[in-house]
Structure formats: C-alpha cells, structure tokens
A and B are shown apart, each in its own frame.
Chain A
C-alpha cells in the first residue's frame, strides 16, 4: 500500500527534474555559448532584497561586480548601481524543446549580465551552461540506456528462447562483458573509434559506446525470465495452435519481461549519464562549444582553476538529485516487482 505512493513520489521528482532540463531555454537566462570576454571567471552573484544602506526593497535586485581596488582577479559588489531582477522577461530567443521558438525567460536583467552561478573562462553563464549541458548528458544517458536495453532484450530473448549452443555462446560473451571493469571497457571501446569528429557525431559516438557497454546484465535477466515464461501453459497452448516463434516472442514473452526491463532502465540511466560525464570530463566525449555536465568539469583539470575558481565545481552537483531520484525509484520498483527479482545464481543453473 505504501510502495506505489513512494514510487509515484520519486517518479514525480524525476519528471520535474527532467522537465527543468528539457525547458532549459526558459530557465536559463542566457544562450549557453554567448561569450563576454570582459568578464571571465566572475564568482556567483547573490540576489538581494536589502540594499547597502539597509533599506528593504520589494523587487529583488543584484549588484554588478567590479574589480576590487589594487587587485586583478578579486571582485566585489558595486553597491552604487543596483540592477533590478526582471522576472519572466523577454530576452534572447531560443527554441523550447528544440522546435518551439520563444523569447520568454524565467528571469533576466537589463544593463548588466547576471551570473547566479558565476561565469567561465569566456564569460559564459555557468547556470545556462549547466541547464543546457544537462540536455546533452541526460539525452546521452537515456539514449544509451535505450540502445543497451534493446540489445540486451534481443540477445536475452534469443538466448533464452532458442537455448542450446546459441544460449551458451551468447552467455559466455555476456560473461566477458560483465567481467571487464566498466570504465576500462568504455576506454577500450572509445579507443578504437575516431577521435576528431564534429560535436554532433561525437555525441552519437558516446551514445553508441555507452550503449554497447552494458547489455550483458539486462540480457542475462531477460534470459532468465524467458526461460521460465516459455514453459508456461499459455505459451505452450499458443504454440500448440501453431503460433510462430516471432509471434510468441512478441505477443507472449516480451510483455513478461517488461518488469525486468523497466527496473534495469532506472538503474542504467543514471549510470550512463555518469558514463557520459566521465568520458566528456576526460576529453573523450562531447567537445566544446557544446556543453555537457562532463566537459563543464574538464577545466578543473587545470590547477589554477582548482585553486581560484571553486564555482567551476558546481556542474558536478547537478547530477546528484538525478542520482537520488533514479536510485530511489529503482529500489521502489524492485520492491514492488518482487516476482521478477530472480537470484542471479539461479539464472545460471536453471534446472
């Protein structure tokens, strides 16, 4: 009784988080590639209601930053000019969800750029880059999980349904893929694919690479379900009526594996988002000027950034709520579909 509600709670949280990322154009005040070379590495600004003289204002405002006197990299607030924060302002145009032209932003300002999470080396707004970068990272994770589950379901169904040497061969290969440490596998796959390609191609490349890494576990789980389902009476009956293999697999067996596949999806998506982050962080994934959660962190490999500009670390934290949501959703799913929870050891010796 409590489980479905828990499930719904985490599902709604994830839906909200994905919604924010999907509508990045609205929540982000600026275009993610818009540069302002005059303002590199600005620290995060804060929004005020009280001004420097202690007066309260109903309209939130912020102070633009200026260089502290006698310093070349320390900033302080310029309290002589307060700039009001505009809510639901019209500013730069973008395409909502990639196709709806729009100009409305959640907030913005006239007169000076507002950097809520600071700016990067080229004066680009970190907040906007994180929001847009989420689109790349999440999409890579979701598509990668889709590829993996498709591969895994196909291979698992083939192995479980046909059995015999095909089963033996496929499961041995699956064992190989399971045995390799995943990051090494990712590296090995990436190593043998082209390095210098256009941003879009490299995005596809990343999806393919992470999609090919994880098929073994879902394949084994699907195989286990198929092994037990194919001996059930309704399947035998259908076969007795002359149903073809393809029809049986599609109509009777595939629906039974839905629980396993759904649970695996909630486990795989955050892992694959992290895989994309790792690859892009190491410079093997999605390149600039496209932003992704991984390549936003790449600048942290420079020592001076690490020492002086702590806000460059903020993109790393973006993935944490997603991890939380997916992990809780996965465990809630696992508890509600106990019937599908099959011990891995039983899968190996189905007697």
Chain B
C-alpha cells in the first residue's frame, strides 16, 4: 500500500512540476492574444487593459500561477480567450475523442504485440522469427508522419475508409448498431496509423525480454517436467518477463499520446491535437497549458496503472514495499 501511495504522490508532484514549467515558459512569451487587439484602432487601449485585468494578465507570475492552481482545484482550467468559454469543458469534449483513439490503439497494439513477440521469441533465429524481425525493422524506419500520410492517401484513392471527422453527416438519425459501425469505420484509419507506429517497438521489446527469460534454468526444468509449450510460454515465461514490459506499457502510452496528436491533425480527428494547434496559432494561453496538462494527466494515469500492474505481477516489489 505504501508503494502505491508513494507512486501516487510522485505522480502529483510530476503534474505540479509540469504545470509550473509550462507557466514559466508562458511568462517568457513575447506577445499574447491581446496584442493583436491592441493593433486594432477600433478597440480602445482601455478596453484591452480592462480585458487584461479581467483575465488577470496584469498580475505578477506567482500570483497568476496560484490563481490558476486555485481554479484547477475547482475543476476549471482557466479561460479561453478565443472561444470565450472556460477551458475545461472545451478540452473535455476533445480529450474524450483523444482518449477513445489512444485507448483503442493501446489495447489493440498490445493485444497484437504480445502474441507476436512471444511467438517470435519461441522461434528465435528460425524463419518465422526472421520474417517478423524483418517486418518490424522495416516498419521501424517509417516515421509516424510518413506512415499516417501514406495511409491517408491510400484511403482517399481507394475510398475504403472515410477520411476525417468523427462520424458521418446524419449520424444522429442512425440506429445504435449503425452508429457504432459508422464510428468504427471512422476510427479505423487513425487507429491503424497509431498501431502500426507503435507495434514494431513493442514486438521487439517483448521478443527480447521473453527470449532472455527462455534461457533461464527454471524454464528448462519446467520443460523437462513435461509442461506443454503454450503454458510454458504464456504462464511461466511471460510472467517472468513482465517487469520490463510493464514499464514499457507506461512508455507506450506517452508515445501514443504524441503520435495521436499528429495523427489527429492529419486525419482531422476532433481530438486535442487540432484544438492545441489552433490555440498555439491564436496564442490562446490557457488552452495550451490545459491541453499539455491534460495529456500529462493521461500519461501519469497510464504510468500509475503500470505501477499497480507491477505491484500485482512482481512479488519482489511487494516484499520490498512491505519490508520497509
């Protein structure tokens, strides 16, 4: 329990640190949303000053930070200048879509990578393993930007998948089943891009750590006891190899979040990516900070989940934690 508490505290400090960091960066900004207003002769300087005061941009940085922190504690994330609404609901709608995308991609990628990696490790050096290694090595040298754009062109030219958006026009009139089908067909392309971008890295890591365990004497002993191969691989070997893989899980969430940002913009998926990009171009300060922080929250949640998994899977950590 203390282990988990410590990990949670660590996560909270991480979030605080990131928020402080982004705030510090934001104070270095040479220009903000109201600068353009100031150039507009139809808006009086007084109005701009009043607006700045309203958003407390005229206060010193520490005060602004504390004020913002207080707002966060109340479930708000500041105010969007461009949309003229609180940031939280604005972000939340988009974050849901991003989560839908990254969540699905994470699950799919791991569901595919685990059997592939274990299968490959069990046939180390033989033809199927070599073919798979070659395939992952090939995918590895295609960066996500190139991959996503390529898939998009393929989709546009073949017309197999809708290209862009979350749902089709007239989504509201569809029956629940058709709604689901429509959503899935829209998700296919971005999810495919994300999965293909992370899969090679996952498969290679899983293959390496399982192969390392397969050499261990206890597995040779288990095999000589006549335990069937499948059980040997998935029950004994995978469990022993779990520790680095669970750390990898936390890392994969981070990569998928970054990848998702790009894929969303390319495939016009209404997630955090396009919103963040617009906010940057419009200098919509709190939307940027909120978006970065929200992504951090997802990442921390993913890592916390990995920590819980680790605690559950690795008896060494449990005993180390209770011994303290």
The stretch from A156-164, A222-230, A305-313, A332-340 touching chain B is A305-313
CB-contacts of B271-321 with A (<8 A): 276-277, 279-281, 283, 288-289, 291-292, 295-296, 299-300
In this complex, how many residues of chain A approach chain B with their Cβ under 8 Å: the count is 42
Residues of A contacting B141 in the complex (Cβ-Cβ under 8 angstroms) = 320, 323-324, 327
Contact of A176 among B21, B31, B143, B279 (CB under 8 A): B21
The stretch from A20-28, A49-57, A177-185, A244-252 touching chain B is A177-185
Determine if B149 and A313 form an interchain contact, defined as CB atoms under 8 angstroms apart.
Answer: yes
Contact of A306 among B140, B156, B276, B289 (CB under 8 A): B156
Known contacts A183-B258, A306-B152; A323/B142 CB under 8 A = yes
Determine if A316 and B25 form an interchain contact, defined as CB atoms under 8 angstroms apart.
Answer: no
Question: Residue A240 at the B interface, CB < 8 A?
Answer: no
Known contacts A306-B156, A327-B141; A284/B280 CB under 8 A = yes
Residues of B contacting A327 in the complex (Cβ-Cβ under 8 angstroms) = 140-141
Q: Mark contacts of A169-197 with chain B using CB atoms, 8 A cut-off: 1 yes-contact digit, 0 otherwise.
A: 00011011001111111011111111100
* B146 to A, closest residue via Cβ: A316
Residues of B contacting A281 in the complex (Cβ-Cβ under 8 angstroms) = 145
Determine if A189 and B145 form an interchain contact, defined as CB atoms under 8 angstroms apart.
Answer: no
**Please, how many angstroms separate the alpha-carbon atoms of A97 and B257 in the complex?**
39
Residues of B contacting A301 in the complex (Cβ-Cβ under 8 angstroms) = 266
Determine if A181 and B299 form an interchain contact, defined as CB atoms under 8 angstroms apart.
Answer: yes
Residues of B contacting A193 in the complex (Cβ-Cβ under 8 angstroms) = 29-30
Chain B's nearest CB lies how many Å from the CB of A351? 15
Question: Residue B169 at the A interface, CB < 8 A?
Answer: no
Contact of A319 among B25, B146, B254, B289 (CB under 8 A): B146
* A312 to B, closest residue via Cβ: B153
Question: Residue A297 at the B interface, CB < 8 A?
Answer: yes
Question: Residue B261 at the A interface, CB < 8 A?
Answer: yes
Known contacts A306-B153, A319-B143; A183/B18 CB under 8 A = no
Residues of A contacting B257 in the complex (Cβ-Cβ under 8 angstroms) = 181, 183-184
Determine if B156 and A183 form an interchain contact, defined as CB atoms under 8 angstroms apart.
Answer: no
Contact of A320 among B18, B146, B157, B255 (CB under 8 A): B146
Chain B's nearest CB lies how many Å from the CB of A213? 11
Q: Mark contacts of B9-46 with chain A using CB atoms, 8 A cut-off: 1 yes-contact digit, 0 otherwise.
A: 00000100110011001101111000000000000000
Residues of A contacting B292 in the complex (Cβ-Cβ under 8 angstroms) = 180, 184-185, 187-188
Determine if B26 and A192 form an interchain contact, defined as CB atoms under 8 angstroms apart.
Answer: yes
Chain B's nearest CB lies how many Å from the CB of A9? 15
Question: Residue A278 at the B interface, CB < 8 A?
Answer: yes
Residues of B contacting A324 in the complex (Cβ-Cβ under 8 angstroms) = 141
**Please, how many angstroms separate the alpha-carbon atoms of A278 and B14 in the complex?**
26
Contact of A316 among B150, B157, B299 (CB under 8 A): B150
Residues of A contacting B31 in the complex (Cβ-Cβ under 8 angstroms) = 194
Determine if B153 and A190 form an interchain contact, defined as CB atoms under 8 angstroms apart.
Answer: no
Chain B's nearest CB lies how many Å from the CB of A186? 9
Residue from A187, A190, A300 having most chain B Cβ neighbours under 10 A: A187
Known contacts A184-B257, A187-B280; A274/B26 CB under 8 A = no
CB-contacts of A278-328 with B (<8 A): 278, 281-284, 297, 300-301, 303, 306-307, 310, 313, 316-317, 319-320, 323-324, 327
Residue from B17, B31, B149, B299 having most chain A Cβ neighbours under 10 A: B149
Question: Residue B210 at the A interface, CB < 8 A?
Answer: no
**Please, how many angstroms separate the alpha-carbon atoms of A187 and B273 in the complex?**
10
Determine if A180 and B146 form an interchain contact, defined as CB atoms under 8 angstroms apart.
Answer: no
Question: Residue B265 at the A interface, CB < 8 A?
Answer: yes
Determine if B288 and A172 form an interchain contact, defined as CB atoms under 8 angstroms apart.
Answer: no
**Please, how many angstroms separate the alpha-carbon atoms of A182 and B28 in the complex?**
20
Residues of A contacting B259 in the complex (Cβ-Cβ under 8 angstroms) = 183
* B250 to A, closest residue via Cβ: A179
Q: Mark contacts of B139-180 with chain A using CB atoms, 8 A cut-off: 1 yes-contact digit, 0 otherwise.
A: 011110110011011001100000100000000000000000
Determine if A181 and B255 form an interchain contact, defined as CB atoms under 8 angstroms apart.
Answer: yes
Determine if A191 and B17 form an interchain contact, defined as CB atoms under 8 angstroms apart.
Answer: no
Residues of B contacting A282 in the complex (Cβ-Cβ under 8 angstroms) = 265, 277
Question: Residue B240 at the A interface, CB < 8 A?
Answer: no
Determine if B152 and A176 form an interchain contact, defined as CB atoms under 8 angstroms apart.
Answer: no
Residue from A282, A306, A310 having most chain B Cβ neighbours under 10 A: A282
Question: Residue A210 at the B interface, CB < 8 A?
Answer: no
Question: Residue A277 at the B interface, CB < 8 A?
Answer: yes
Residues of A contacting B157 in the complex (Cβ-Cβ under 8 angstroms) = 307, 310
Question: Residue B91 at the A interface, CB < 8 A?
Answer: no
Residues of A contacting B276 in the complex (Cβ-Cβ under 8 angstroms) = 184, 187
Known contacts A192-B28, A316-B146, A320-B141; A180/B18 CB under 8 A = yes
**14 A-B contact pairs sorted by A residue (CB < 8 Å):** A184-B257, A185-B292, A187-B280, A188-B22, A189-B25, A191-B26, A191-B279, A192-B29, A274-B143, A306-B153, A316-B145, A319-B146, A320-B142, A320-B146
The 5 lowest CB-CB distance pairs between A and B, nearest first, are A183-B258, A181-B258, A191-B280, A323-B141, A316-B146
Known contacts A184-B291, A191-B279, then 17 further A-B pairs from the complex at CB < 8 Å, ordered by chain A residue: A175-B14, A182-B254, A183-B257, A183-B259, A188-B289, A277-B143, A277-B145, A278-B262, A284-B280, A297-B149, A306-B163, A313-B149, A313-B150, A319-B143, A320-B142, A327-B140, A327-B141
